Amino acid sequence: MKNIKTFPVFLLLAILVGSFVTLPTTCAASANEERALTFVSNVLPFDTNKYSATLTNVIEKPATGPNDYNQEKFRCTLKADNSTIDIDVTFNNNILSRCQLLTSSTGPVFQETSNENLIDTAKNFIEKYQAFTKENLSDMLNALSKVDSTKNVTATSGNIKMQISNYKLGIRDVTVFRWAVAINGVEYSYIELEYRDGVFKSFNDNRRIVKIGNTDVNISQEQSVELALQYIETYSYKAIAGTRDDPYYVDVTDFNVAMERISCKLIPYPDESSAFGPCWSVELPIVGDYGSIWALSVFVHAGSGEILQCRPLGTGTTGLHPLDEQNSNMWFIGVAVVAVVAVAVTALLVTKRGVKRR
């Protein structure tokens, strides 16, 4: 086997990260300023009789790609005699998508109701958010009536799948409410509420920025695995081999699949119009000398059986499905791409071997 070519990876990292990351800039407040203040004052569970709300900072970050969003982030400050709370409210494409209580808050936190019953607290939040957005959230409210906030449970109402998760974060008690829009076993979008020691911490809502297309599932899990195995019989990817002074590319193909370790799950996947539909994510572990690549990830459309994508998985790949990748921060996307390139740059020369199903 010939030696691998070694490149100045740190230089490559600097160049690629610089090309993927756009720093936010501070600018004048936009038309969303009033909506941010209204949301903080009318929806968040703080006692407005004790707090006054002001906008202290606005940060704007334009979209950097077709699957990114124009983003505005507002820093709102709630002030009382002996309490100050800083809150970030984020708009993506002019849609309120996130709100977070910052850890820099000082003094006690005055909430409008007791935090002893988080079911009632969450219900009150969703009712006020329903009035704020002027939409029907009755399925979310119905799901709340079926559960106990002290337990990890799942409940459904219509196309809404609600999960309550309780866990410890250091000495803090964390409770997360998550209402997902679930169709034919696929969770497409969600509202999420987080409380720490009974105090509001964060809110997320990506339902109005995630487009849902055809949701039909016609391909079974078993069929999707078979389609993925058939596809990789002719699939290949390129790796760099050779010496530092004489590098060249080789095609890596003929994969030995560990059949007993195959995993498969339904996820959302975007089409050409960025509308999401059902997709089987099939992970095919490979055994043998494939450098740092340990599996192939194959995406099979659950409606048509079409192979949407196949990619090698190795050290540094994100492990995210497409919806998470679309909604993640561009900084992390840039770092993930750099890591993938670094894997390719340092890939070992691979010898061809037969496609086997172990």
Residue 285 pLDDT exceeds 90:
yes
Residue 289: inside a domain: yes
Residue 358 pLDDT exceeds 80:
no
Residue 1: inside a domain: no
Average pLDDT over residues 330-350: 34
Q: Are residues 79 and 104 in the same domain?
A: yes
Q: Are residues 260 and 306 in the same domain?
A: yes
Model confidence pLDDT, tens digit, residues 63-98:
887 778 899 999 999 998 888 999 999 999 999 999
Q: Are residues 174 and 238 in the same domain?
A: no
Model confidence pLDDT, tens digit, residues 16-27:
434 434 444 444
Domain boundary among 152, 182, 211: 211
Q: Are residues 84 and 135 in the same domain?
A: yes
Give the domain extent around 58.
24-211
> Residue 183: pLDDT band by 50, 70, 90 thresholds?
very high
pTM to 2 decimal places: 0.73
Domain boundary among 194, 211, 228: 211
Residue 352: inside a domain: yes
Q: Are residues 173 and 302 in the same domain?
A: no
Residue 2: inside a domain: no
Residue 352 pLDDT exceeds 80:
no
Average pLDDT over residues 324-345: 36
Q: Are residues 183 and 285 in the same domain?
A: no
Number of domains in the chain: 2
pLDDT at 326: 43
Q: Are residues 37 and 171 in the same domain?
A: yes
More reliable by pLDDT, 151 or 130:
130
Model confidence pLDDT, tens digit, residues 238-252:
888 888 888 888 889
Residue 79: inside a domain: yes
Domain boundary among 180, 211, 242: 211
Residue 4: inside a domain: no
Residue 204: inside a domain: yes
Residue 273 pLDDT exceeds 80:
yes
Q: Are residues 60 and 160 in the same domain?
A: yes
CATH number where 290 lies: 3.10.450.40
More reliable by pLDDT, 325 or 311:
311
Residue 315 pLDDT exceeds 80:
no
Q: Are residues 170 and 239 in the same domain?
A: no
Q: Are residues 189 and 102 in the same domain?
A: yes
pLDDT at 330: 33
Q: Are residues 58 and 89 in the same domain?
A: yes
Q: Are residues 203 and 74 in the same domain?
A: yes
More reliable by pLDDT, 346 or 44:
44
3-state secondary structure labels for all residues of the chain: CCCCCCCCHHHHHHHHHHHHCCCCEECCCCCHHHHHHHHHHHCCCECCCCCEEEEEEEEEECCCCCCCCCEEEEEEEEEECCEEEEEEEEEECCEEEEEEECCCCECCCCECCCCCCHHHHHHHHHHHHHHHHCCCCHHHHHHHCCCCCCCCEEEEECCEEEEEEEEEECCEEEEEEEEEEEECCEEEEEEEEEEECCEEEEEEECCCCCEECCCCCCCCHHHHHHHHHHHHCCCCEEEEEECCCCEEEEEECCCEECHHHCEEEEEEEECCCCEEEEEEEEEEEECCCCCCEEEEEEEEECCCCCEEEEEEEECCCCCCCHHHHHHCCHHHHHHHHHHHHHHHHCCCCCCCCCCEEC
